[in-house]
Amino acid sequence: MARAGTGVRALGAVLAAVLGAALAGCSSTGGKRAEDAREAARNATGKAAVTTPKWTFAMVTHSGDGDTFWDIVQSGAEQAAAKDNINFLYAHSEEGQQQAQLVDSYITKKVDGLILTLAKPDAMKDAVAKARKAGIPVITVNSGSEQSKEYGALTHIGQDETIAGEAVGDELGRRGRKKALCVVHEQGNVGHEQRCAGAKKTFGGELQNLYVDGTNMPDVKASIEAKLQADRSIDSVVTLGAPFADAAVQAKRTAGSKAEIDTFDLNPKVVAALKAGTLGFAVDQQPYLQGYEAVDLLWLYKYNADVLGGGRPVLTGPQIVTEKDTAELEQYTERGTR
C-alpha cells in the first residue's frame, strides 16, 4: 500500500465515515447505492483515498437482470473503486458467448484491468487469452476457480463450490435428513454442478438433482411442487441461489410437504425466512467481499505488483448460517452488504 502522511490518513477516515453513512441509509439497489456513496465521498473530500492514476477496471459477470446477489457483488466492487480512485464499469449476461463479447468490448476500450466470472469457462477461455495478450490483468471471482489459474488469471476470489457442497451434505446429515433435492436453476453452470456433486458426496442419504428454468420463477415453483407431490419421501430441498429459496418455500406449502428448505446465498428475504423458521440454513459466500477484494487486488497489482493466493483461490466461504445468526445478519442485509 502507498505510504500516507497525516493528511492522507485523515482523508481516509473522512471517506470511511461518509461511505459508512451512505451504506447505512440505502436500500438494496447495489449499483445505485454504491454510486451515491462514491459521489458523497467525492463531495466531502474532493478526491479518493489514494493518489494513483485514474485506472479503469471492468467487471463482467454471468448474472441476469434483477439478481440481488450480484447487486451485492457490484456494490462491494464500487465501494473499493471509490476508495482506490478507479473508474468502474460493470456488465453482465447469462449467456456465455455474450459474456465473452462484453469482455472483448472492454479489451477494445483498453481497460486497465478485468474482473470476470467463469461459470461457463469454455465460452470465456478465448476472451481471457485475448485480455492477457493485450496486457490486461485478469482476476476471476465467484465461478471457475479450477480454470482460473489455467487461463492465466492473477488469482480467483470466491468459495470453492465443491467444498461448499460438501458442507451442505454434512449439514443435511447432522439434521437427520434422508432424501434431498438439489435444485439446479442454470444448466451448464459448472459451479452449480459442483455444489450438488459436493453435497451428494458427503450426504449419507439420497440426493438427486432437479433441473429448472431459472429465468421463469413460476416454472421453478411448479417444478419443485410437482416433485414434492410425486415423492413424499423427500425431506429436504436445497436451492442454489437466494431468489429461488422463496419459490421452494411456496412450493412446499402448496404441495403440503414437510420437507426442510435450505439454500445457498443470502438476501434480506433469506435472513427473514431463517428468523421465521421457514428456512433451515443458508450458505453464505460473502459476495460483497468478492467484489470489494477483486477491485482492491487489481489496484494492488497495478500499484505494487502484489498478488494474493499463492496460486490458489482466495476463499470467501462457505459459512453455514442459521436462525441464531439472524440478529447480526439483519443489519448487514438491510444495508446491502451481506
For 64-88, the pLDDT digits (tens) are 887 889 999 999 999 999 999 999 9
Indicate the average pLDDT of the chain.
88
Q: Please give the Cα distance from 259 to 243 (Å, whole number).
A: 18
| Contact assessment for residue 269 and residue 241, using Cβ atoms and an 8 Å cutoff | no
pLDDT of 255 strictly over 60: yes
Q: Which of 143, 142, 119, 138 is nearest to 128 (CA)?
A: 138
pLDDT in tens, 191-238: 999 999 999 999 999 999 999 999 999 999 999 999 999 999 999 999
Cell numbers for 334: 438491510
Best CA proximity match to 259, nearest among 267, 270, 248: 248
Question: For residue range 159-182, what is the model confidence (pLDDT) as tens digits?
Answer: 999 999 999 999 999 999 999 999
Q: Which of these, 51, 63, 27, lies nearest to 142 by C-alpha position? A: 63
Q: Which residues contact 26 (CB under 8 A, 6 or more apart)?
A: 32, 33, 36, 37, 335, 336
Q: Which fold has domain 161-284?
A: Rossmann fold (3.40.50)
Residue 51 has pLDDT above 50, yes or no: yes
CATH label, 54-159+286-307, candidates 3.40.50.2300, 3.10.20.30, 3.40.190.10, 3.40.470.10: 3.40.50.2300
Q: Cell numbers for 100, please give them.
A: 465473452
Rounded Cα distance, 185 and 241, in Å: 8
Residue ranges in the chain assigned as alpha helix (H): 6-24, 30-45, 68-84, 96-108, 121-133, 145-151, 161-174, 190-202, 217-230, 242-255, 268-276, 287-304, 326-335
Which of these ranges, 66-70, 146-150, 204-208, 309-313, has the smallest mean pLDDT? 66-70
Verify cis geometry, omega within 30 degrees of 0, for the bond prior to 53.
no
Q: Do the domains spanning 54-159+286-307 and 161-284 agree at the CATH topology level? A: yes
The structural domains of the chain, with segments of one domain joined by +, span 54-159+286-307, 161-284
**Reported confidence tier of residue 47, pLDDT bands at 50, 70, 90:** low
